[in-house]
Chain A
Amino acid sequence: DVKVTQSSRYLVKRTGEKVFLECVQDMDHENMFWYRQDPGLGLRLIYFSYDVKMKEKGDIPEGYSVSREKKERFSLILESASTNQTSMYLCASVGGRVTNIQYFGAGTRLSVL
């Protein structure tokens, strides 16, 4: 079974803090994604990566950056957290023989105070 692990289930941070959300997958997948999920807005793509050190902006990249130094790990960085970044963050990966299914992590619920 594919396993996508997000390091934190819940995080509480203060405005202005730098925040790191970590995601690790164990299936040697090439593509990894970060989404945020808000009520009424569905899933919105922040960034994705198709290879180590490669990244592409999604639909809402402002205020975020990402890092992919190793194939299995994709990090989302909030350079200076703001209250409007309070949300559920979901990591997903795709790859291997089945390239048309996204597998999700359990999510990180981030609250910025």
Chain B
Amino acid sequence: GQQLNQSPQSMFIQEGEDVSMNCTSSSIFNTWLWYKQDPGEGPVLLIALYKAGELTSNGRLTAQFGITRKDSFLNISASIPSDVGIYFCAGPVAYNFNKFYFGSGTKLNVKP
């Protein structure tokens, strides 16, 4: 299926640094989801966004639903080693909750 455009593909950062990643789409979304996937595990939902312009936090994570409804951003502040993993965005096709689009993922590496 169609993939969302997610960047960057990978990041190597030092512990304590802030991280930012984003997702864009050519279509309008009504919901944006951000997941984290640890190696060998299934994706776990981090944040769900439902309204254009919405800014939502979950601990050190903050995500925003873009005003155009075609993009979303995830920021991680003061990264720690356990933040290592793959982060990806996702969203259901408007009015069709049987069809979800997924970003290709951002692989985050944190050096202690």
Contacts and interface: CB of A to CB of B under 8 A. Distances in A.
B43 A90 contact: yes
Nearest to B41: A106
Contact of A31 (B44, B98, B103): B98
A100 B1 contact: no
Interface residues on A, range: 20 to 34
A102 B100 CA distance: 8
Q: In terms of DSSP, what is the predominant structure of the interface of chain A? A: strand
Contacts of A6: 42
B24 interface: no
Interface string B28-40: 0011010100001
A56 to B, nearest CB: 7
B42 A90 contact: yes
B85 interface: no
B58 to A, nearest CB: 14
Contacts of A90: 42-43
Interface of A: 4, 6, 9, 31, 33, 40, 42-45, 48, 50, 56, 58-59, 90, 94, 99-107, 109
Given A104-B44, A106-B41, 17 more contacts: A42-B102, A42-B104, A44-B1, A45-B1, A59-B1, A90-B43, A94-B97, A94-B98, A100-B30, A100-B50, A101-B45, A101-B48, A102-B90, A102-B100, A105-B42, A107-B40, A107-B41
